[in-house]
A and B are shown apart, each in its own frame.
Chain A
Amino acid sequence: MLDALRLYGRYVGVSFRSQMQYRTSFIMLTLGHFLMTGLEFLGVWVLFERFKNLGQWQLEEVCLFYGLINMAFALTDATSRGFDMFSSLVKAGDFDRLLLRPRSTVLQLAGQEFTLRRIGRFSQGLIVFAYGAQTLGIDWSIAKVGLVMLTLAGGASLFYGLIVLQATMAFWTTESLEVMNTVTYGGVQTAQYPIDIYRTWFRRFFTYIIPLACISYYPSLALLEKEDPLGSSGTFQWLSPCIGIIFLALCMQAWKVGVRHYRSTGS
């Protein structure tokens, strides 16, 4: 385990150095990423400027939802490129090489690249989150800081799980399927707003099938110490991010089944 972590550290180091070779390009891309993801927030701001409030929610509260989900997704986006590009590996038959090496496939794929420019989205989410928390005057305790960390871990795990699932499907379909974007990018889009504003079937889908609400809506309520209009208990709100981590564990099992099913393509 320790050995695997050290190896992962080496992978990350190599990836950092290679990205730093083109420093200007890196800065431009990070800045572009920052602006592009910040655009979504501008949209949110425009709407609050026009409508003043969204049901019982204020702009500052929505900032918390928005910030948390974007930070969590940025963490996944930065570390999951290997899985994201996985279908091209299968198509070319290059996955065979990974299987020959005496390390787990998950470690090798996760270590493929640490995409530094995702700092753009992360810092954008962080700024929005900090602004919201500041204006709302959240009473920070160690427990609440812990909850934010747990929420980010849970959120990043959930998105990682989805991307692993997408990669797993490539074992059967070879071609990468864009449909998973609906729940990854679409999920980020959805969770920017409190989930109680959506229609019931949609809310259920993102609570029970893909537990997106558990890594944004419920923990945010605990942070805000706000009564849940949907009526969940406080204990559940504090523990809900763990469901994201369980989700990742389940997706890893699916991945294992996929690896066993793998037949080489290409020539």
Chain B
Amino acid sequence: MSAYWAIFSARLRMLLQYRAAALAGLSTQLFWGLIRVMAFEAFYRSSAAVVPMPVEQVVDYIWLGQAFLMLLPIRLDSEIRAMVRSGTIAYELVRPLDLYNFWYMRTVASCLAPTTLRCVPLLLLALLLFGMRLPSSPAAATAFALTMVSALLLAAAISNLLNITLMWTVAGEGTAGIMQVATFLFCGMIVPLPLFPDWMQPLLNYSPFAGLMDLPFRLYTGHISSDQVTTVLARQLGWTFALVIFSRWLLARGTRVLVAQGG
């Protein structure tokens, strides 16, 4: 276990070095959040239609989305890609560690570090200046915190699956691109999921992507009552578990057919 912990903390410390990039990213995201908030407010102002989510909750939802953007599993691990390309992945197989756990810990760290760097200042600014509200109740806050932790586990599981597919695709830009599309759309980053057409709701609710952002955010705003927390956790962890099983199977197959590139 201590080996995996070491991998995690080394990676975390490395990623926490990039503070200037985080600052620049912060301003970009504040700006994006602002554009989005204004556009949604305009929609709400102008329409008499009955909408399944009040505007104040949408504003909170948008700011949370900006704050936790880096959590989304949309990037491939560039080092793993380089390893597959150059053939040094062979060394990874020699290590006396379980390869899946090894990569999983790396991924958890690379989801966590940029998210932490970005979400703290962004949430502070959004709360103080841009009309975001605190969680609807202490129970909602607890539920939100718990489900965000399992969102991290889920994000890392999806991300790691992407890394494993590199063994077949080598380049991986195509897979990453399509994943990016699916993730952004189905986690609620573009439009909060409750605003999608009603007939799509069951589909959206049960997809693995809802657990990344939408469900925790709705717990935060009180759109889902906080006694639903166990259902949300069960869905997130169920998907995580299923993905881990599938990825492990895929990895086992991958290592058998793997051709180490280069010489």
Residue numbers of A with Cβ under 8 A of B are 25, 28-29, 32-33, 35-36, 39-40, 42-43, 46-47, 49-56, 175, 177-179, 181-182, 185-186, 189-190, 193, 197-199, 202
Are A39 and B184 interface neighbours, CB within 8 A?
A: yes
Query: Known: A178-B28, A182-B27. Is A197-B42 also a contact (CB below 8 A)?
Result: yes
Q: Name the prevailing secondary structure of the A interface residues.
A: helix
27 contacts between A and B (CB under 8 A): A25-B171, A25-B174, A32-B174, A35-B177, A36-B181, A43-B191, A46-B196, A47-B43, A50-B49, A50-B195, A51-B46, A51-B51, A53-B46, A54-B42, A55-B42, A55-B45, A178-B24, A178-B27, A179-B28, A181-B28, A186-B31, A189-B32, A189-B35, A189-B36, A190-B35, A193-B39, A197-B42
Are B181 and A39 interface neighbours, CB within 8 A?
A: yes
Cα–Cα distance between A56 and B260 once the two chains are bound (Å):
60
Chain A residues whose C-beta falls within 8 Å of the C-beta of B180 in the assembled complex: 36
Cα–Cα distance between A5 and B95 once the two chains are bound (Å):
56
Cα–Cα distance between A230 and B46 once the two chains are bound (Å):
17
Are A193 and B42 interface neighbours, CB within 8 A?
A: yes
- Does B185 reach chain A (CB closer than 8 Å)? yes
Set A42, A43, A52, A182: member contacting B49, Cβ < 8 A:
A52
Can you list, as one digit per residue, whether each of B9-28 has a CB less than 8 Å from chain A (1) or not (0)? 00000000000110011011
Chain A residues whose C-beta falls within 8 Å of the C-beta of B21 in the assembled complex: 178
Shortest CB distance A36–B (Å): 5
Cα–Cα distance between A186 and B28 once the two chains are bound (Å):
8
Chain B count of residues within 8 A CB distance of the other chain: 36
Most buried by A among B20, B31, B32: B31
Query: Known: A46-B191, A47-B43, A199-B38. Is A178-B25 also a contact (CB below 8 A)?
Result: yes
- Does B124 reach chain A (CB closer than 8 Å)? no
Given A53-B46, A54-B47, 6 more A-B residue pairs with CB atoms under 8 Å apart are A25-B173, A36-B180, A46-B195, A53-B47, A55-B45, A186-B35
Shortest CB distance B126–A (Å): 16
Are B178 and A32 interface neighbours, CB within 8 A?
A: yes
- Does B190 reach chain A (CB closer than 8 Å)? yes
Are B195 and A47 interface neighbours, CB within 8 A?
A: yes
Are B190 and A43 interface neighbours, CB within 8 A?
A: yes
Shortest CB distance B195–A (Å): 5
